[in-house]
Amino acid sequence: MATPEFDLNDIKRRMQGAVSSLSKDLGSLRTGRATPSLLDPIQVDAYGSMMPMAQVATVSVPEPRLLSISVWDRSMVTAVEKAIRESDLGLNPQTEGQTIRLRIPEMNEQRRKEMVKVAHKYTEEARVAVRHVRRDGLDHLKKLLKDSVISEDDEKRQATDVQKATDQYIAEIDGVLASKEKEIMQV
Q: One digit per residue, pLDDT tens: the chain, 187 residues? A: 444 578 889 999 999 999 999 988 887 776 667 788 888 888 899 888 999 988 899 999 998 888 999 999 999 999 999 998 887 677 889 999 899 998 887 778 887 888 888 889 999 999 999 999 999 999 999 999 998 888 899 899 999 999 999 999 999 999 999 998 888 887 6
The closest alpha carbon to 59, from 73, 74, 69, 44, belongs to 69
The closest alpha carbon to 36, from 21, 49, 52, 22, belongs to 52
With the CA atoms of 149, 151, 153 and 157 taken in that order, what torsion angle do they form, in degrees rounded to the nearest 10? 0
Host H or E run for residue 179 = helix 152-185
